[in-house]
Amino acid sequence: MEDVPGFMKDPARSEAGQEIPIRADERAEYRGRYYRAQVVVKENDDIIYQFFDYKVPDFRNFLAEIIEAHFGSTSAFSAAYIPELESLGVRAQNVRSHPFFSWEHYAKDFLDLVDGCIGESKVKAS
């Protein structure tokens, strides 16, 4: 038992009441026709969207236009490309504490709209 960490050998630190609470963030998966996404609800009222497998040039600007049209403003949103995940991460800051917050509006309706807009842009490009 040489590989056992010290805290596991110390009965004072491994007895009941010394547990560390672990909280997993709420997650939802979305699979559209033109991309897939993961939505993560954070403790601080933020929502994180991770977009994967999108085949849209300049997806960040494309998404910014949809965010502006759907939510009325981009001021609560920020975005960053994450090369390790090959995805675009979009953060909606402090949106869950808004008095008119709707999960349906911020998740399903928004992600369906993005999927539909990608489909329309592909039809126009053909």
Residue 58: CATH number of its domain = 3.30.200
In this structure, is residue 95 part of a structural domain? Answer: yes
Range of the domain at 97: 20-106
- Predicted local distance difference test score (pLDDT) of residue 37: 97
Per-residue buried b or exposed e for 61-89, using 16+ beta carbons within 10 Å of the residue's own CB: ebbeebbeeebeebebbebeeeeeeebbb
Residue 85 confidence (pLDDT):
87
Look at residue 11 and tell me if it is in a domain: no
Sequence-distant (≥ 6) Cβ neighbours of residue 23 within 8 angstroms: 43
Specify the pLDDT at position 45: 85
pLDDT of residue 80: 94
pLDDT at residue 49 in the model: 96
In a domain, 113, yes or no: no
Any domain includes 52: yes
Of 33, 43, 118, 48, nearest in space to 88 by CA? 48
Predicted model pTM:
0.77
pLDDT attached to residue 24:
57
Please state the domain count of the chain.
Answer: 1
Structure confidence by residue, pLDDT tens digits, 95-109: 988 888 888 999 999
Low-confidence ranges of the chain (pLDDT < 50): 1
Q: Has residue 66 been placed in a domain?
A: yes
- Is 114 part of any domain? no
Residue 35 resides in a domain: yes
